[in-house]
Amino acid sequence: MLLDQTRLPAEEAEFVCTDVPALVRAIRTLAVRGAPLLGIAGAYGVALAAVRGDDVAESAGLLERARPTAVNLGYGVRRAAAAYREAIGKGADPERAAAVALAEARALHREDAEASGRMAGYGLALLDELLPGGGGHRLLTHCNTGALVSGGEGTAFAVALGAHREGRLRRLWVDETRPLLQGARLTAYEAARNGMPYSLLTDNAAGSLFAAGEVDAVLIGADRIAADGSVANKVGSYPLAVLAKYHHVPFIVVAPTTTVDLDTADGASIVVEQRPGAEVTEFTSLQVGVVGADAGGLLVAPVGTTAYNPAFDVTPPELVTAIVTEEGTISPVTGVGLTELCARSSQV
Ligand code: MRU
């Protein structure tokens, strides 16, 4: 059972997946989304297939291929599938092996919650170091990285929330995050629920905000971090990194080590998901927040307009001030530093 993120903020609706194809649809339509949560959902999906008596290997393949960029999805799926296989290999019957897969999904869920808390701690310490002085932080974030995408309170958002709880958040600047508005629909929803001081801006307003000296640091999550420290995250992250560099503002990536993919050598090797052009040329019920509207969109471009709609972009390591994980922080960002962090993590 998922909280259907396509219905937020208008409605907190449950989405019940009774089989793996339903979960694959939920993943593709972004009812469930965000790197860490995709890993958790993928692991539960394998357990669901096992409990139903479906072909677990085939179901795992379907889940793993549902979206290509967030490395956590494949990680979660493979972890639960391996636990299932191992149980079968040791002579467990399918029912017992399904229980083992479910236990593995629950373990991943728990570990992700713990990782959230530790990332928040390291992130706050880093902000103290980089932004001394009173007055509170003005933090800019992109996409959605809070409790909605995590077993705990999230990645980048958890750091901002921690700053808020300590009375050190002056303002959270929330990029609306076109085309699917994860910032407006989801991050603003989470910020409001937590009583945080926040303002929403269109993505293209960020430049003037930096120029006005209103941003102390950028905090974002990641979908995949390559071995050289290149960071794939929601499209629009890379332009923010360029702006941050020009304006001498720290650009901080917060992600669990499960998002680090040492098998992907560099940014050019990261597969970036291309989404349907209609997400750009039309406003759908998702973008205009109409509960229960059908999927048919309102055209906002001439009929026949084609669109460029990558879901993610890649920021090179030289534009990233620091990467914060549950195992600690690296700055500057180097392949050696990342490898050491991952070696500390029992998950990799
Ligand atoms: O397409 P989405 O909404 O799944 O993209 C999510 C993001 O890009 C998040 O910033 C990323 O997964 C980090 S979540 C901690």
Per-residue pLDDT of 55-97, as tens digits, reads 999 999 999 999 999 999 999 999 999 999 999 999 999 999 9
223 lines ligand 1 (CB under 6 A): yes
From residue 325, how far is each of 124, 156, 221, 257, 298 by CA, in Å?
A: 12, 10, 10, 6, 41
Distance 300 CA to ligand 1 centre (A): 25
- Residue 227, pLDDT > 60, answer yes
> Which residue from 11, 62, 42 is spatially nearest to 112, judged by alpha carbons?
42
Check whether 182 is labelled as a binding-site residue.
yes
Decide if pLDDT at 163 tops 80.
Answer: yes
Tell me if 272 sits within 8 A of 69, measured CB to CB: yes
> In this structure, which amino acid lies at residue 307?
A
Residue-wise pLDDT for 337-346, tens only, equals 999 999 998 5
Q: Which atom of ligand 1 is nearest to the CA of 312?
A: 8
Handedness of CA 95, 97, 103, 108 (dihedral sign): negative
Q: Tens digit of pLDDT for each residue in 4-50?
A: 999 999 999 999 999 999 999 999 999 999 999 999 999 999 999 99
| Cα(155)–Cα(119) distance, integer angstroms | 7
223 is catalytic: yes
Q: Is 154 left (phi over 0), alpha (psi -120 to 50) or beta?
A: left
Which residues does residue 224 pair with via DSSP β-bridges, in sequence order? Answer: 232
Report whether residue 76 contacts ligand 1, using a CB cutoff of 6 Å. Answer: no
- Is the CB of residue 309 below 6 angstroms from any atom belonging to ligand 1? no
Buried b (16+ CB within 10 A) or exposed e, 169-198: bbbbbbbbbbbbbbbbbbbbbbbeebebeb
**Does 135 belong to an annotated binding site?**
no
Residue having the nearest C-alpha atom to atom 6 of ligand 1:
34
Cβ neighbours around 318 below 10 Å, total: 11
Q: How far is CA 8 from CA 5, 42, 302, in A?
A: 5, 22, 29
- Is residue 34 lining ligand 1, measured as CB closer than 6 Å? yes
CB 188 within 8 A of CB 229: no
Given a contact cutoff of 8 angstroms between Cβ atoms, the answer to whether 46 and 81 are in contact is yes
| Lowest-pLDDT choice from 176-185, 212-221, 279-288 | 279-288
What burial letters (b/e) apply to 207-218, b meaning 16+ CB within 10 Å? eebbeeeebbbb
**Radius of gyration from C-alpha coordinates of the chain:** 20
Confidence band (pLDDT; 50, 70, 90) for 284? confident
Cβ atoms within 10 Å, residue 234: 26
Q: Is 275 in the pocket of ligand 1 (CB under 6 A)?
A: no
Tell whether 234 is in a known binding site.
Answer: yes
Q: Candidates 40, 225, 233: which one to mutate for ligand 1, based on the most atoms within 8 Å of Cβ? A: 233
Q: What are phi and psi of 29, to 5 degrees?
A: -90, 0
